[in-house]
Structure 1
Amino acid sequence: MSESPLFARLTVWTLMAVLATPIVITLAYSLAEHWGAHILPQGFTADWYVSLWTDTRFLAAFGRSLLVCLAALFLSLVLILPVLFVVFYYFPKLKGLMNLLVLLPFAVPPVVSSVGLLQLYAGGPLPLVGTPWILVLCYFTLSLPFMYRALANNLEAVNLPDLMDAAHLLGAGTTQAFLQVVLPNLRNGLLSALFLAFSFLFGEFVFANLLVGTRFETLQVYLYSQRTTSGHFTSAMVMSYFLFIGIATWVALRLQSRSA
């Protein structure tokens, strides 16, 4: 019996080591002055991070990515919450159809979708290609599966019909019950959906590169443009991105633990 916990611990630590190894190596490379023919780097420096975070082009790309992701998530939240409530409370038979519809953005490869969007919005009455608006609308569709699935699971867990019936018995109207009773019970699912979708959208490259490119340079487009520069500089950028996503995840976990 004592061998089983030991085997489990070894398995977990081995998995953690495998996952952490590329991160540690990238961090070491981003701090190395020079790392060429030798096994270990020759000296460490923070100059690569200083160069990165004093680069106005990087800061602008970082801000654009943040702005586009937040705008897309806000749009998703405003639209998906009422739709979820109507489907789960008034038309529960439509759940299967909704599950199919929200997965459609992943049914078509991003390159194929980008070509279609380029043909539709490159000219005509809505010339959106090259503007942040097409990226916001595109990211909105990509975030729908994350938002819908997480919130749908949460609604199933709270038993929406019984919750609404109890609120109505206490004199609350439908809108009041949704805002004051249902939404607080969706807090954990909402936080999970937002941060999961955010981490995915913040690292999206294909749509950003094909639809807007350098005309509205996002972080991933900037990273791609710097691929031929110093590997130390690129590693510093990757570690900064990883740190930002890690902090966002930590904040989400803290908010979830407080609301639990």
Structure 2
Amino acid sequence: MRAEHYHKAVVWLFTAVLGIPVLATLLYSLSQRWGATILPEGLTLDWYLRLWQDTRFLAAFGHSLLIAAATLALSTLLIVPTAFVVFYYFPRLERWMNILILMQFAVPPVVSSVGLLQLYAEGPLPIIGTPWVLVGCYFTIALPFMYRSVSNGLKSIHVHDLMDAAHLLGASTPHAFLTIILPNIRKSLLASLFLSFSLLLGDFVFANMLVGARYETLNVYLFSVRATSGHFTSAIVMSYFLFALGVTWIATRLSRQTDL
């Protein structure tokens, strides 16, 4: 019984550590004033109404969602087949792929941004200030998470046995991959997509240095209005948090319904 109580206490303590800052941010975004008092002085939705009526915020939020969706679509089209080809046809390349996907962590984002500014500011491909440069940068961010997750998903199923059975039944390799392998790694793929999605929405360095206000994203907008009001910025943070939480909940429900 003591061990059970101890485990419950650890869980509740961990929940409190994670939940109290979120609750405090929520209360601050709903408060009229919160200065020297323990609790806020009055509650209001004015900050949220002001936020969601701001066309600049809506545009920045839409830009972030569009760039993240384009990056994840590109990543899925390139990384998932690549992971399958390496795992099924060239397993000896696995260790080299592991090195390749980790190379981006060797260079800080600020250093990468400076190099990209010099490379793509002029010349035959001047894409600095456009969303295309962010899609390319974000692809490198999503690459290690998606590739590792898909690779682990492939290792958890009997890929060669499933493919041999499909070939015996007359299915081609692309058809077997789409109809047999891909559904079996669906959970791994969804997990990598939503992890990458949260990371891409949270990027500031690449977006601020490579695009800035020319194609303003959510975090660049948040940085630019940070001095206006703490209540207003808290409303931005909570809106982003609740949106990410809702998307995750919907994805979890859809995954459970598919399993049934």
**By the TM > 0.5 criterion, same fold?**
yes
The more displaced of 103-112 and 219-228 is 103-112
2:53 is matched with 54
Q: Deviations over 1:168-205 (max 9, x none)?
A: 11111111111111111121111111111101101111
1:118 is matched with 117
How many residues get paired? Answer: 259
Q: Deviations over 1:56-89 (max 9, x none)?
A: 0000000000000000011111111221121111
Structure 1 position 214, deviation (Å): 0.4
For 1:237, give the aligned amino acid.
I
Q: How high is the sequence identity, in percent, across the aligned residues?
A: 62
What secondary structure is seen at the aligned counterpart in 2 of 1:241?
Answer: helix
Q: In angstroms, what is the RMSD of aligned CA positions? A: 0.9
Alignment of structure 1 residues 107-256 onto 2, 5 Å: 107-256=106-255
The more displaced of 3-12 and 173-182 is 173-182
What secondary structure is seen at the aligned counterpart in 2 of 1:201?
Answer: helix
What secondary structure is seen at the aligned counterpart in 2 of 1:94?
Answer: helix
Which 4+ runs in 1 deviate beyond 4 A? Answer: none
TM-score by length of 1: 0.97
Q: Please, which runs of 5 or more residues in structure 1 have no aligned partner? A: none
1:42 is matched with 41
Alignment of structure 1 residues 82-97 onto 2, 5 Å: 82-97=81-96
Structure 1 position 166, deviation (Å): 1.1
What secondary structure is seen at the aligned counterpart in 2 of 1:124?
Answer: coil
8 Å contact kept, 1:187–1:259:
no
What secondary structure is seen at the aligned counterpart in 2 of 1:39?
Answer: coil
Structure 1 position 253, deviation (Å): 1.7
Give the Cα separation in 2 of the matches to 1:246 and 1:123. Answer: 40
Q: Please, which runs of 5 or more residues in structure 2 have no aligned partner? A: none
1:5 is matched with 4
For 1:180, give the aligned amino acid.
T
Give the Cα separation in 1 of the matches to 2:80 and 2:61. Answer: 28
What secondary structure is seen at the aligned counterpart in 2 of 1:43?
Answer: strand
Structure 1 position 107, deviation (Å): 1.9
TM-score by length of 2: 0.97
Give the Cα separation in 2 of the matches to 1:93 and 1:110. Answer: 31
Structure 1 position 105, deviation (Å): 1.7
What secondary structure is seen at the aligned counterpart in 2 of 1:168?
Answer: helix
For 2:150, give the aligned amino acid.
L
What secondary structure is seen at the aligned counterpart in 2 of 1:23?
Answer: helix
Alignment of structure 1 residues 70-109 onto 2, 5 Å: 70-109=69-108
Give the Cα separation in 2 of the matches to 1:259 and 1:102. Answer: 31
For 1:49, give the aligned amino acid.
Y
Give the Cα separation in 1 of the matches to 2:231 and 2:178. Answer: 49
